[in-house]
Structure 1
């Protein structure tokens, strides 16, 4: 008997667990980037009832109606936005989602729901999705990270028209200035003229937004600085922002706020300012250098937490320092 005629054992029947694992492997192969669209799975021959059962028992995560994420895959705002736009291509990322794509800083926690603008008639909500209705021309759209989104000017315009004053000014300041956001250094996204043009369009909230334009400052370096400036403004205090000072050695420094008549410098520091020993040492050198500037008599330093959560105390300490420096001068 030749080798080819040798006896072979029959294949053992496939167990239920083996069949389930094989089917889950097929689903994983169908998923793009760990995201499975139900329509694509059905087109590949999966019966809807079996598909739904396998997704549930296999630990897949429902991202949106008609889309699932593979087990263990992070489902963040970007994933939700990508899925929603994949399923509904007419939607354009806008508002907070567009701000995240453009690296525009906002106050508060990240928005849990993806936000879009639909240029078609009708306003509606779906779980995990907020859709606004508004006209969008070609000039209002761009692409970021593979997603169709509103341009920086339209994004900031939408935000400043609908957010409370402090949040609106923080967003506008961020877009107007060069910033490092989530570890990425980016240039200014627009200028004041472009924002004025955007807000000239007749839309709900535009008049209120235009009234806030004098409060914007492209020199602001962080949301905490913007909020501090607004608190000072509301208290009737109007320091010079980012004034250029020179040390005796010729080094140029730009403190956050300077009250020139009193020689008072006010500095606002974010919670992550001292990210390393080098950053901490650099900050100490800068603090000492500021004190050597002839225009400076006193320096006050505040954390972002004090500005955000204890504004009355922040203003009281600034007023007391102004009174003290004025008294010493007299």
Structure 2
């Protein structure tokens, strides 16, 4: 039972868990004194015959703050596989009336969470995925990319809004609300304004906004109007389309965009597409691609 527990819990074990699998306090002390177990914090140990992984570090940090603590923020995002890399500082959420304080490598937040907002994954209490997304997104290292990735692969917008409303007043709540509004569809217009500012600041000229291209004559009285493009560099035959969040991919919209893009390309235009995330997270890369496309003509 001891081996099974250690194997399934990243090598971390608490004193209470050790007693439940049949060890005595004296046996635990012997293992610590011999160096086979390493003490992480009061009542929390690591079986030191394996690498001390990020998962072990997060588990030890949370268990070290008691059985009512939960991983939150970027630590919870890592635990839910929303992020690739674990944060250096483990955020732990504890009830308001609990004792204990932040230790090296940990940040404690005191807040009473409703049952809906806490789940157990791989034996560890963590904030539920919707709350994790909106909290981690406003931390350094999270951002709109985390929201977009979560909406594409893990959840939907409605549960995120519900978690936000249940937890108003928490750290980062206004920023999370802005991200959710953007994800709802408001990102495209803001992204267009941001792209204009980027072009202007970079001194890139020769473009017009909201112009139609790819029109053609049917006969001497009829003309197909073509498609409206967000930004057009006519002299360079470059069309730039701005999208909102990448997760918006309804089948009808997706099909229309492909037809539109093919028609514009057949009319002799190179087409670049940027999302709100591109413009907010990687503006220098966006400008470099525009410059490269312009200079290629």
Q: TM-score when scaled to structure 1?
A: 0.53
Which ranges of structure 2 fall in alignment gaps of 5 or more residues? 186-190, 201-228, 233-237, 243-257
Contact 1:112/1:128, CA 8 A, preserved across alignment: yes
Contact 2:74/2:142, CA 8 A, preserved across alignment: no
* Structure 1 counterpart SS, 2:262: coil
TM-aligned CA deviation for residue 171 of structure 1: 1.8
Alignment equivalent of 1:196, drawn from 139, 153, 161: 161
Task: Specify whether residues 45 and 94 from structure 1 end up closer, same or farther in structure 2 by C-alpha distance, changes over 3 A only.
Answer: closer
Which ranges of structure 1 fall in alignment gaps of 5 or more residues? 1-27, 179-187, 219-227, 238-257, 267-288
Contact 2:45/2:60, CA 8 A, preserved across alignment: no
Deviations 1:168-207 (A, max 9, x none): 21221121112xxxxxxxxx3232x332333334314322
Task: Specify whether residues 134 and 35 from structure 1 end up closer, same or farther in structure 2 by C-alpha distance, changes over 3 A only.
Answer: closer
* Structure 1 counterpart SS, 2:49: coil
Partner of 2:72: 94
How many equivalent pairs are there? Answer: 227
TM-aligned CA deviation for residue 90 of structure 1: 0.6
Task: Specify whether residues 233 and 62 from structure 1 end up closer, same or farther in structure 2 by C-alpha distance, changes over 3 A only.
Answer: farther
Task: Specify whether residues 47 and 152 from structure 1 end up closer, same or farther in structure 2 by C-alpha distance, changes over 3 A only.
Answer: closer
Contact 1:231/1:315, CA 8 A, preserved across alignment: no
1:32 matched to 2:6: yes
C-alpha distance in structure 1 between counterparts of 2:282 and 2:155, whole Å = 31
Contact 1:30/1:36, CA 8 A, preserved across alignment: no
C-alpha distance in structure 2 between counterparts of 1:46 and 1:137, whole Å = 38
Task: Specify whether residues 136 and 76 from structure 1 end up closer, same or farther in structure 2 by C-alpha distance, changes over 3 A only.
Answer: same
- Tell which structure's C-alpha radius of gyration is larger: 1
Structure possessing the higher relative contact order (Cα contacts under 8 Å, 6 or more residues apart): 2
Partner of 2:179: 212
C-alpha distance in structure 2 between counterparts of 1:105 and 1:48, whole Å = 35
C-alpha distance in structure 2 between counterparts of 1:159 and 1:264, whole Å = 31
C-alpha distance in structure 1 between counterparts of 2:13 and 2:120, whole Å = 23
C-alpha distance in structure 2 between counterparts of 1:30 and 1:315, whole Å = 50
Deviations 1:244-293 (A, max 9, x none): xxxxxxxxxxxxxx967543579xxxxxxxxxxxxxxxxxxxxxx99x93
C-alpha distance in structure 2 between counterparts of 1:323 and 1:149, whole Å = 49
